[in-house]
Structure formats: C-alpha cells, structure tokens
Amino acid sequence: MKNFYDHQDIKVSITLRPEDIATPPTVGLTINHNLLFYCSLTKTKSFDIQIGLLESINVQVILRDKDYNTMTTQALFIDSLKIDDFDIIPMCTQYAKYNNDKNITDSTNFLGYNGIWSLNIKEPFYQWQHKVTGQGWLLEP
C-alpha cells in the first residue's frame, strides 16, 4: 500500500542564458543524472523536471570547449534555479560549487570558465530547506 509520500513530486526548474549569442557556449545540464541538454546554447532556455519528494537532488551545469584566446565573451548565466518555487538562485548560491579550469571557487551563478557548476542536496529537499533557512528540523517520514 502506498502512503502520502509516494504520491508527491517536486518540481525543479532552471533557466540558462548565454552571455553573448554571437559566440554561444557549449552547455550540458543534468538533474539527478538525467541529461536534459547538451548543445550550443543560442538563446535563453528553461528546463523543468519532476523529482520524488524524498529523493536527493543533484544539479550539474557544464560549460565546455571555451577557447580563452578567441571566445572571451563566451559564458553562461544561471538566471534562475527553483525547487518547488523556492529560489535557490540567488538566495542559496553559496551552497553550490563551481569547479573550473581556472580554479576560481567563488560562489556564483556566472560560468565564465570551462567547468562544472553543481548543487548537491543529499537529503530530501524540504528537510534541507528547513535547515538552511533556520526553520528547524522536519521529522523523517
């Protein structure tokens, strides 16, 4: 028999924007190991996916193939990342990691170097959200 938690999904939404459409960046996007996009990003694009209520969440945005000598304006903005209408960007950008080939480790939503921006929430989202917003703990189901 299924319980209440088995029937609930949460929505993960992300919006990506190239800095300059004259030199579109090569971008990859995976959410929970589902490849949603891997191509040149020529315009602002939004993506949505449903995830189980009790699943962990892993978002990865990849910028690759940038030639620093000829493509100085090739970059990517993560304009929005929402989980069930809770703004991760800009409110919780500090929980993301940006591993890149220039070893710049600042928390950011701007990807200007070849690398991987990732947000890894290892527990169910609402438990994580309550901790990071100082609302206390949620009991486990």
User: What confidence score (pLDDT) does residue 109 get?
Assistant: 96
**What distances in angstroms separate CA 52 from CA 9, 10, 12, 56, 132, one per listed residue?**
5, 6, 10, 9, 20
User: Is 50 exceeded by the pLDDT of residue 1?
Assistant: no
pLDDT tens digit sequence for 65-91: 999 999 888 999 999 999 999 999 989
Q: Considering the entire predicted model, what is its pTM?
A: 0.91
SS3 content of the chain, % helix, strand, coil (to 5): 10, 45, 45
User: Is 70 exceeded by the pLDDT of residue 138?
Assistant: no
Q: How confident is the model at residue 62 (pLDDT cuts 50, 70, 90)?
A: very high
Sketch out the chain's domains with CATH numbers: 9-122 (2.60.60.40)
Residues 93-104, mean pLDDT to the nearest whole number: 94
